[in-house]
Amino acid sequence: MKDVTYYPGCSLHGTAREYDESFRGVSKLLDIGLHELEDWTCCGSTSAHCTDEALAVALPVRNLRLAEKHDREMVVPCVACYSRFKAAEAEAKEHPEYLPSPYEGKVSVRYALDFFCDAAMREELKARIVKPLTGLKVACYYGCLAVRPPTLTGVEHYENPEHMDRLMEMLGAEAVPWSYKTDCCGASLVMTRTDIVVKLSQRILSMAMEAGADCIVTGCTMCHANLDTRQAGLPAQEGRGEIPVFYFTELMGLAMGHKEVKKWLSRHLTDPIKLLSNKELM
């Protein structure tokens, strides 16, 4: 069993419960021991870094200090939280005056998608697939923060990442090629410039359908929320007016035969169960 510190962040305890539950579910099937960070607090995403530079460093570093008490890497499913942790690590070194005491950065912070795409984890996953996702065409959507800035994420091919594509193909799905996998969906503009969010999100949805995808797969809570909820008025393509959006952990759970997949998917606004039933995957 591999033990890791788990930082769920605020959204996975609220609007993205299905991401939290599916992450925990697949981790259990893969014999990963999750230790939720004790007394964790908000990392400051997405508003702290826009209002107070010192606070934007202090909030995530507080959690990192808690995590470094244990000899475990910290896995973070929310890519916005992951981005803030990686930025805070760098900024704590550049601006030590933001903190009451120096932070040495001893904790290895991993984004959940990268964690599951490690070679050893892929081998474990491959051995546990009981229901290959045969016939399912997916558009892998990484969004902005999972791969950028590359100086923080370490992703080499940040304009055309493929690790989620390879993960989905291991599950038996077909990852379609398309050019919008790292385009912005509007993210945190959802409350202030809804018009921009609708425009950007619907372009991504339309391009995924044009590429021949049955669905979109992501690992970002904000991206999922925007794409799942902005489908009203989407121009119909190939007789469809909507396209389901999955968290990658939900499809991992489906391929591994987790018993609670239907409960996770029932929380989506754009129904994904009909698609999976038509594909004889549920």
Query: Is the domain of 159 the same as that of 266?
Result: yes
pLDDT in tens, 250-268: 999 999 999 999 999 999 9
Residue 241 has pLDDT above 90, yes or no: no
Residue 203 has pLDDT above 90, yes or no: yes
pLDDT at position 236, please? 63
Domain that holds residue 181: 132-278
Query: Is the domain of 145 the same as that of 38?
Result: no
Is 207 part of a structural domain of the chain?
A: yes
Percentage of the chain surpassing pLDDT 90?
86
Provide the 3-class DSSP secondary structure of residue 4: strand
Residue 50 has pLDDT above 90, yes or no: no
- Nearest CA to 114 out of 164, 180, 173, 68 is that of 164
Angstrom distance (rounded) from CA 55 to CA 32: 33
Is 93 part of a structural domain of the chain?
A: yes
Task: List CB contacts of 149: < 8 A, sequence separation 6 or more.
Answer: none
Query: Is the domain of 139 the same as that of 252?
Result: yes
Is 76 part of a structural domain of the chain?
A: yes
Is 121 part of a structural domain of the chain?
A: no
Angstrom distance (rounded) from CA 181 to CA 162: 9
Q: If you average pLDDT over each of 26-35, 44-53, 197-206, which comes out highest?
A: 26-35
CATH number, domain of 149, equals 3.40.50.11810
Residue 238 has pLDDT above 70, yes or no: no
Is 209 part of a structural domain of the chain?
A: yes
pLDDT average, residue stretch 48-65 = 90
Query: Is the domain of 151 the same as that of 237?
Result: yes
pLDDT at position 191, please? 76
Rg of the chain, C-alpha, whole Å: 19
Is 240 part of a structural domain of the chain?
A: yes
Query: Is the domain of 235 the same as that of 268?
Result: yes
Query: Is the domain of 227 the same as that of 268?
Result: yes
State the total domains in the chain: 2
| Beta-ladder partners of 5 | 35, 74
The DSSP 8-state label assigned to residue 16 in this structure reads T
Query: Is the domain of 22 the same as that of 149?
Result: no
Which residue, of 114, 149, 177, is where some domain finishes?
A: 114
Residue 282 has pLDDT above 90, yes or no: yes
* Residue 255 one-letter amino acid: A
Is 124 part of a structural domain of the chain?
A: no
Which residue, of 114, 149, 171, is where some domain finishes?
A: 114
Is 73 part of a structural domain of the chain?
A: yes
Q: What are phi and psi of 218, to 5 degrees?
A: -145, 170
Query: Is the domain of 210 the same as that of 174?
Result: yes
pLDDT band (50, 70, 90) for residue 221? very high
Task: List CB contacts of 138: < 8 A, sequence separation 6 or more.
Answer: 168, 173, 174, 175, 176, 213, 214, 215, 216, 217, 246, 251
Angstrom distance (rounded) from CA 142 to CA 160: 9
Rounded to 10 deg, the angle between the 119-127 and 163-170 helix axes is 20
| pTM recorded for the entire structure | 0.95
CATH number, domain of 60, equals 1.20.1050.140
pLDDT in tens, 80-131: 999 999 999 999 999 999 999 999 899 999 999 999 999 999 999 999 999 9
pLDDT at position 189, please? 83
| Beta-ladder partners of 76 | 111
pLDDT in tens, 123-179: 999 999 999 999 999 999 999 999 999 999 999 899 999 999 999 999 999 999 999
Query: Is the domain of 48 the same as that of 93?
Result: yes
Query: Is the domain of 42 the same as that of 167?
Result: no
The neighbour count for residue 257, using CB atoms within 10 Å, is 12
Left (φ > 0), alpha (ψ -120 to 50) or beta: where does 95 sit? beta
Query: Is the domain of 109 the same as that of 237?
Result: no
Which residue, of 114, 141, 174, is where some domain finishes?
A: 114
Angstrom distance (rounded) from CA 95 to CA 104: 12
Query: Is the domain of 109 the same as that of 245?
Result: no
